[in-house]
């Protein structure tokens, strides 16, 4: 396990849409990033500490990211290794300011830079963006909305003309007119850019040389950024002077003549992306066609895509109503919606924590070519004796994790965030196979009640309590074993867990992603448990169950799941400017601190964060 005690400003780590790998390294061989990853290193030749990201991640301020050894990542990146399908853009200043430079894989090979100093960029990077590489086919031109190949992309092939870019939409209300800022030109292609519609006004050609792709990270220095209103795409050696009167309509392809050696020969197939394989546990892959065919998109949790009409296929069409198959990583869940902004009918698919979930044809569920928006989340499956309660439908929002034997007589005392408690805020749930949760509409187990129970075979999932009339109506609850009823328990004598259940939290081991906090040393007294990603910013607002005391300055021992990390803060607010300590599992076994007093942190914690451990990054 690792233990750190520092003062200063800690990294603001968010495990939602990004994958971060952080580890100390001795002398290292050339790294081998996955196609979707970029690895950043503190020293030249891939030495020192490192971290990694997948696309699409924006890191606006490296002064907010801590090195394990102390100090910040700002101006500390000296070498980089980039996956074959990934592009990284470095910026001199925070928030993407100052000079910039981009590096990317070529779609076939990774790209390695052992010493950024040789390019004038060693120890100079303050912010960065990671994107998927866009590699044009030999006869393709890709035009981008922003510099450094960022924003929306417009894919064109040799022979295409666009007389009026106002007619080509990026999204509702926004066209491509005066919005092109960078370009990539396939080795056998060139593009003529014109300032006015109908190919009028000043114009300029950008061509490749027949051997290499021509990458133009910004059109602004040449005075052509955000100035293009029409364009034509031709072969790289095409002579523009032969066009005396530029046509206003795309040219028809020439019919092959009898005896022409090209007669009957199929034209070159459009560029197809390589098979991207199976998703990692935190990923979801979406495909244009059934059987995982056609174009594809990849996302990590936590990503919300409210409008697929704003996402372009390489053909220029939209992703709206075009998803026909998908693959879901074992630790991910995707919720599909019929309409934009998460409207209309919905359906979800998720991994089971052990295996991926693949749907080769969404038409089998009545969902082929029907998806207009979606959300990707981390799957949360309870252990056999656990119950997970969720703030929103479809297991979304905050989550409350409970074990058999726990009672909550007043959910007003259990905080989601400062100023917001769990009372009347539960909308979906999952109950482990050996767990039952009995809920009441009023505090202190009063009013109408209802049980939700595992069946002894597998966990039970209720996607929406609203359909049963129980959404946002729960004020107290008890977690017991299946078959329990309120009548079977005498007042004041809660039933002990049955069978193989532990007698107390002292004997319960946290799951890999959980952290248990104990009131007394030796894992005694009251206890609470959280999983990543949880932020508890004010322990004065969290009451010890069956007590008038709050948890502020009352944590004396901790158990940390093997894949979890906890940051303990001396003051409320999870304020990185106050004293804090980082404790974490080592990826192999539960980390146990039977007395925080021995490291100077007993009865000192006022807020905390739970995250994924560095051993997984």
Q: Using CA atoms, how far apart are residues 86 and 111, in angstroms rounded to an integer?
A: 9
Q: Using CA atoms, how far apart are residues 304 and 336, in angstroms rounded to an integer?
A: 10
Catalogue the E-assigned strands of 115-222: 127-132, 140-146, 150-157, 161-162, 169-171, 174-175, 182-185, 189-194, 203-207, 214-216
Q: Using CA atoms, how far apart are residues 31 and 217, in angstroms rounded to an integer?
A: 26
The kind and range of the H/E element at 384 are none
From 2.30.40.10, 1.20.1260.10, 2.60.20.10, 3.40.50.150, which CATH number describes the 140-238 domain? 2.60.20.10
Q: Using CA atoms, how far apart are residues 209 and 207, in angstroms rounded to an integer?
A: 7
pLDDT for the residue numbered 275:
52
Topology given in CATH for the domain delimited by 386-488: Gamma-B Crystallin; domain 1 (2.60.20)
pLDDT for the residue numbered 615:
64
Q: Using CA atoms, how far apart are residues 571 and 252, in angstroms rounded to an integer?
A: 71
From 3.40.50.1000, 2.60.20.10, 3.50.50.60, 2.40.50.100, which CATH number describes the 283-378 domain? 2.60.20.10
pLDDT for the residue numbered 260:
46
Residues with Cβ < 8 Å from 444, sequence gap 6 or more?
A: 409, 410, 476
Q: Which residue spans of the chain are classified as CATH 2.60.20.10?
A: 37-132, 140-238, 283-378, 386-488, 514-612
pLDDT for the residue numbered 494:
37
pLDDT for the residue numbered 530:
83
Q: Using CA atoms, how far apart are residues 558 and 519, in angstroms rounded to an integer?
A: 9
Sign for the CA dihedral angle at 339, 299, 55, 563 comes to positive
Task: Write phi, then psi, for 87 (nearest 5 degrees).
Answer: -130, 135
pTM for this entry? 0.36
Identify the three-state secondary structure at position 178.
coil
Tokens representing 49 are: 């500490």
Long-range contacts of range 117-121, CB-CB < 8 Å, 24 or more positions apart? 117/44, 117/78, 121/90
pLDDT for the residue numbered 276:
59
Residues of the chain below pLDDT 50: 1-27, 244-254, 256-257, 260-274, 490-503
**CATH number belonging to domain 37-132:** 2.60.20.10
Q: Radius of gyration of the chain from Cα atoms?
A: 28
Topology given in CATH for the domain delimited by 514-612: Gamma-B Crystallin; domain 1 (2.60.20)
Residues 378, 388 contacting (CB under 8 angstroms): no
């Amino acid at each position: 396990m690792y233990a750190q005690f520092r003062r200063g400003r800690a990294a603001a780590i968010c495990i939602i849409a990004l994958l971060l790998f952080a580890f100390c390294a001795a002398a290292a061989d050339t790294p081998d990033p996955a196609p979707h990853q970029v690895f950043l290193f503190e020293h030249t030749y891939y030495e020192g500490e490192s971290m990694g990201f997948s696309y699409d991640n924006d890191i606006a301020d490296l002064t907010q990211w801590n090195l394990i050894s102390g100090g910040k990542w700002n101006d500390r990146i000296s070498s980089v290794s980039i996956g074959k399908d990934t592009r990284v853009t470095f910026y001199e200043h925070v928030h993407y300011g100052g000079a910039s430079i981009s590096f990317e894989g070529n779609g076939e090979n990774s790209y390695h830079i052992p010493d950024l100093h040789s390019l004038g960029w060693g120890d100079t990077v303050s912010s960065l963006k990671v994107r998927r590489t866009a590699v044009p086919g030999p006869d393709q031109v890709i035009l981008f909305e922003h510099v450094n190949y960022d924003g929306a992309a417009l894919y064109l092939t040799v022979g295409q003309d666009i007389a009026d870019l106002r007619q080509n939409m990026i999204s509702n209300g926004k066209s491509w007119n005066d919005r092109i800022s960078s370009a990539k030109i396939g080795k056998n292609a060139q593009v003529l850019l014109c300032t006015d519609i109908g190919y009028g006004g000043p114009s300029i050609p950008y061509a490749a040389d027949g051997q290499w792709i021509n990458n133009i990270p910004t059109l602004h220095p040449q005075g052509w950024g955000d100035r293009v209103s029409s364009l034509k795409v031709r072969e790289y050696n095409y002579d523009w002077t032969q066009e005396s009167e530029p046509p206003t309509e795309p040219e028809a392809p020439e019919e092959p003549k009898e005896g022409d050696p090209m007669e009957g020969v199929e034209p070159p197939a459009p560029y197809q992306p390589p098979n991207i394989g199976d998703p990692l546990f935190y990923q979801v892959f979406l495909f244009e066609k059934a059987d995982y065919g056609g174009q594809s998109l990849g996302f990590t949790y936590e990503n919300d895509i409210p409008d697929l009409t704003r996402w372009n296929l390489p053909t220029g069409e939209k992703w709206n109503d075009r998803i026909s198959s998908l693959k879901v990583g074992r630790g991910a869940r995707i919720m599909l919606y019929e309409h934009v902004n998460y409207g209309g009918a919905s359906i979800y698919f998720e991994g089971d924590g052990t295996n991926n979930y693949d749907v080769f044809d969404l038409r089998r569920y009545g969902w082929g070519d029907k998806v207009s928006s979606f959300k990707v989340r981390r799957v949360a499956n309870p252990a056999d004796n656990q119950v997970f309660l969720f703030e929103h439908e479809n297991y979304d929002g905050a989550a409350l994790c409970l074990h058999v034997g726990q009672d909550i007589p007043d959910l007003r005392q259990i905080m989601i965030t400062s100023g917001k408690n769990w009372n009347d805020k539960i909308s979906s749930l999952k109950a482990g196979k050996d767990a039952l949760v009995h809920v009441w509409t009023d505090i202190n187990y009063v009013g109408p009640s209802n049980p939700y129970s595992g069946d002894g075979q597998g966990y039970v999932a209720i996607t929406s309590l609203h359909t049963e009339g129980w959404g946002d109506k729960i004020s107290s609850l008890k977690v017991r074993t299946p078959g329990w009823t309120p009548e079977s328990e005498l007042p004041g004598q809660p039933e002990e867990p049955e069978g193989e259940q532990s007698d107390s939290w002292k004997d319960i081991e946290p799951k890999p992603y959980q952290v248990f906090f104990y009131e007394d040393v030796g894992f005694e007294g009251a206890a609470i448990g959280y999983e990543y990603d949880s932020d508890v910013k004010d322990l004065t607002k969290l009451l010890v169950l069956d007590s008038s005391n709050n948890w502020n300055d009352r944590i004396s021992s901790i158990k940390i799941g093997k894949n979890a990390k906890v940051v303990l803060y001396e003051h409320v607010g999870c304020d990185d400017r106050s004293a804090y300590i980082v404790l974490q599992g080592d990826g192999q076994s539960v980390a146990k601190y039977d007395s925080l007093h021995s490291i100077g942190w007993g009865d000192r914690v006022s807020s905390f964060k739970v995250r994924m451990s560095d051993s997984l990054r």
